Amino acid sequence: MFVGKKQDPLKLILLSLVTCGIYFYYWLYKTGEEVNQVLQKEAVKTNLAWVGIICFPVGLYYLYQLDLALQEMAGTRGVQYQSNFVLWIILFLLSGVGAFVAEFQIQTFLNTCWDQAAPPSDYPTGDA
């Protein structure tokens, strides 16, 4: 079972702020790749993450695709996930923080999935 990279959501937001949003798009791209690996199909068209930098509607479409893929992933992993896509759009349009809320919620969900899929730390590795 594929296990992605656990990351601190607050650190991701800080990196996104420091890089004026560039890291956010890199994170979106890498997250899309991880979700595609879990689902074993191209549920998220990762090349659209980069187009979203210059075309806001494409960025929203990418987030929508990612949200749908996360819902599917939740079903396959047995983890609860609630879609917040509309909330992200509203927060983005009203205050500009929707991207950061999305980043935090998505990474928190992924960390839960990776924790569930990873073997326990006391699991014997065969190194004796």
Q: What is the pLDDT of residues 57-87, one digit of tens each?
A: 998 999 999 999 999 999 888 889 999 999 9
The C-alpha atoms of residue 53 and residue 45 are separated, in whole angstroms, by: 15
Question: Domain extents for the chain?
Answer: 9-109
Q: In the chain, count H helices and then E strands.
A: 6, 0
In this predicted structure, the answer to whether residue 5 has a pLDDT above a threshold of 50 is yes
**Cβ atoms of residues 44 and 65 within 8 Å:** yes
In this predicted structure, the answer to whether residue 111 has a pLDDT above a threshold of 80 is yes
